[in-house]
Structure 1
């Protein structure tokens, strides 16, 4: 827990360890990959229709970040 608090403080100050940041990006990839797939599957549902904006998806940006950090 203390590590997470330290990371958040560093993040907001603009000083982040590259190792920790690339791990965060990798973890976020899996979260957004799942969310975006599920939204696409249900895009015609009456509730999802109201929030369906694929132009806001960020998985592709995360892929670019992963290529940068991991090669």
Structure 2
């Protein structure tokens, strides 16, 4: 998580791989958290798939970390 940049927006917490300007790679390919809960929902980038719903922010972070795609 230390190598990612948190970006809160519109009730979500995204994690970016870098800050602007971007060099052509997708900085937003990391799962993100929808925080209005509990439950907290964790989605893959672009709302492609729901990874799960959890009861605490700590559990949401564990779910994100477990699904960060390799560079």
Q: What TM bracket, shorter-length normalisation? A: under 0.3
Q: Which has the higher strand share?
A: 2
Tell me the TM-score normalized by structure 1.
Answer: 0.22
Rg (Cα) greater in structure = 1
- Name whichever structure is richer in helix by fraction: 1
